[in-house]
Structure 1
Amino acid sequence: MINIIKEKIIKENYRITKEEALALFNYPLEELAKAANEIRLACAPKTTSVCSIISARQGKCGENCKYCAQSVHWKTSCTSHPMIKPEDAIPQCKKAIENRVSRLSLVTSGVGLKGREFDQALECYKKIIRETDGKLLLCASHGIISYEQMVQLKEAGVVRYHHNVETSKNYFSKICTTHTYQDRIETIKNAKKAGLEICSGGIIGMGETIEDRIDLAMTIRNLEVQSVPVNILNPIPGTPLENIEKISKEEALKTIAVFRFIMPSQFIRCAAGRKSLGENGRDAFLSGANALISGDFLTVEGSTNKEDLEMLEELGLEIEKF
């Protein structure tokens, strides 16, 4: 079955069904990963994409996402800081360029960035472009914002908007109740309408079922996004999910492989939790992944650019240039 579906995807641009995706999880990882990697080689971009993020505003978030250390609803060790100033962001951007990062995103806490802080973000993007001679592709991650704000981001030089779906429609209310699944979908549609590319994925290991993960991937496929970050939950003390059992390496890699079957041509981007797979997440790239976020994440430690670049080169992956 694996090889039949693989060949149909490669040769006929076949869109796998939910039932077929669920069945794939029953096969050995070795077979599944091999086929997923062959699909990547045949259908996905030949280059790999390296991006980094800057925590542009942190903490004091009024949303109650159960996985997040930044929520005011939970007692965690997360510190807070106000909206970043351009003079603080630009050195980080220049360092990213030195480390061969091609994409960089400012990420802010809260349900959505508005008013004066949104204006500050726009000015920050404009200054980054000027000060770096346009050597970075800029992404933005500012929560649930309007179509008009998306247009302003594009005019400021942003090319891609990041907004995760996070999980399936059916499971979402078990993770967050202060905004809806549909709020997230509409935000992505607003970004697309404004002409922005989309980066949207989710978190696995939050207690969801395999079917939930398949539903998440199917939703993302239907939204026709360019980049799909896959986060593996790192349970954070003080959050409601602090004691949840971590998923196994095999389950995580199977999930990435099946995501490649569902989304043959997208950048499937290893994000938070990659290091839990061992060897810097190398096996994820042999299971269908073809991009990564390099450096630290919002509230958890990531990997260094140096070790990421060395791994990608050892795997024979060419890093996209801009």
Structure 2
Amino acid sequence: MNWNLLAEQVLAGHELSDEEGLAILESDDDHILELLHSAYQIRKHYYGNKVKLNMIVNTKSGFCPENCGYCAQSIDSEAPIQKYRMMDKDTIVQGAEQAHRLRSGTYCIVASGRGPTNRELNEVTAAVQEIKAKYDMKVCACLGLLRPEQADKLKEAGVDRYNHNINTSKNHHDAITTTHTYDDRVETVNYAKQAGISPCSGVIVGMKESRLDVVHMAKALKELDADSIPVNFLHAIDGTALEGTNELTPMYCLKVLALFRFINPMKEIRVSGGREVNLRSLQPLSLYAANSIFVGDYLTTAGQEGTKDHQMLKDLGFEIEYPAPQTLAE
């Protein structure tokens, strides 16, 4: 396969076939630099050398009635995690201050559970209003399944983006969770879109899905028209249903990111959870396909130090899209 030619075709409007997608995932490791160079041509066309930073605050941990096999907060999980109820407004706002210091352009307010209660929604919307008044950053909410009126309330408060991942392919969904459907997830993303909120939806790779499933995930997100696509790589946690699962290699993760760039050329593609443990020393190469990363910790697992992420971007010659606060030492 001529990856440069395929990249040129994508920039001209070509949509990958399943066979072309599989060819990326099944390509020889010896050709990884050629593949990433071609993915970078697409990435550079739309985003130049800029990288977007995002930071998560886990505002509610545990107490989730869903049975997602990857999640330490699941009702079936025996993982020894810290559990706490919804943070108050002031604590959520304090997290935004840290995100501002780390030069994050997007602050992600995440809560476990099937969906938000009225009280939880009120805490989030009050915090969002204060954050938007204080800081020049986007706010993303990730609170589970939404009703249309809840999406409207989040929009009114100033939420810019709503995240609800499809996580896996429709075909593989029931192997991961049975307490909600794939269509439930798609419906929530559509409710956010209807409310005028930018849709964010992504995947978790490495959950015993097939390579064709991965191709179909990328195509489903294209059809859903998600503006931001977080690509997570399974960090299997002891005590979860997927404990001990270890299917990923750094090379395969890079091919997955290239695939998502070829299929969703204009979208923000974010290297997300599990990048440190799955990409390991090859993390910098991921940004030749992706144009966004998380800084700081994830939900129940630790991330890389923000200063190391900043140094990595500097070493690559990439530019952080969000300007540094004057109080931040370079």
- Of the three residues 132, 157, 180, the one matched with 1:129 is 132
CA contact (8 A) 2:166 2:182 kept: yes
CA contact (8 A) 2:59 2:109 kept: yes
Aligned-partner Cα distance in 2 for 1:45–1:208: 33
TM-aligned CA deviation for residue 136 of structure 1: 2.0
Please give the per-residue CA displacement for 1:234-254, whole angstroms capped at 9, x wherever unaligned: 110011110212311111111
Instruction: Give the aligned partner of residue 84 of structure 2.
Output: 81
Aligned-partner Cα distance in 1 for 2:45–2:90: 43
Q: Within 5 Å, which residues of 2 pair with 1:144-293?
A: 144-276=145-277, 277-279=279-281, 281-286=283-288, 288-293=289-294
CA contact (8 A) 1:102 1:320 kept: yes
TM-aligned CA deviation for residue 159 of structure 1: 0.4
TM-aligned CA deviation for residue 7 of structure 1: 1.3
TM-aligned CA deviation for residue 99 of structure 1: 1.5
Letter in 1 for 2:209: E
More displaced, 42-51 or 265-274?
42-51
CA contact (8 A) 1:125 1:158 kept: yes
Q: Percent identity?
A: 36
TM-aligned CA deviation for residue 127 of structure 1: 2.3
CA contact (8 A) 2:105 2:138 kept: yes
Runs in 1 of length 4+ with deviation above 3 angstroms? Answer: 43-46
Letter in 1 for 2:123: Q
Aligned-partner Cα distance in 2 for 1:320–1:263: 20
Instruction: Give the aligned partner of residue 315 of structure 2.
Output: 314
Aligned-partner Cα distance in 2 for 1:279–1:74: 30
TM-aligned CA deviation for residue 60 of structure 1: 0.9
Letter in 1 for 2:310: L
Tell me the secondary structure at the aligned position of residue 49 of structure 1.
strand
Letter in 1 for 2:143: H
Q: TM-score, normalised by structure 1?
A: 0.95
* 2:109 maps to 1:106: yes
Instruction: Give the aligned partner of residue 8 of structure 1.
Output: 9
Gaps of 5+ in 1: none
TM-aligned CA deviation for residue 26 of structure 1: 3.0
Aligned-partner Cα distance in 2 for 1:191–1:23: 34
TM-aligned CA deviation for residue 46 of structure 1: 4.9
Tell me the secondary structure at the aligned position of residue 183 of structure 2.
helix
TM-aligned CA deviation for residue 223 of structure 1: 1.1
Gaps of 5+ in 2: 324-330
TM-aligned CA deviation for residue 291 of structure 1: 0.5
Letter in 1 for 2:260: F
Letter in 1 for 2:290: A
Q: CA RMSD in A?
A: 1.4
What count of residue pairs does the alignment treat as equivalent? 318
Please give the per-residue CA displacement for 1:95-114, whole angstroms capped at 9, x wherever unaligned: 21112111101100011002
More displaced, 46-55 or 63-72?
46-55
TM-aligned CA deviation for residue 128 of structure 1: 2.2
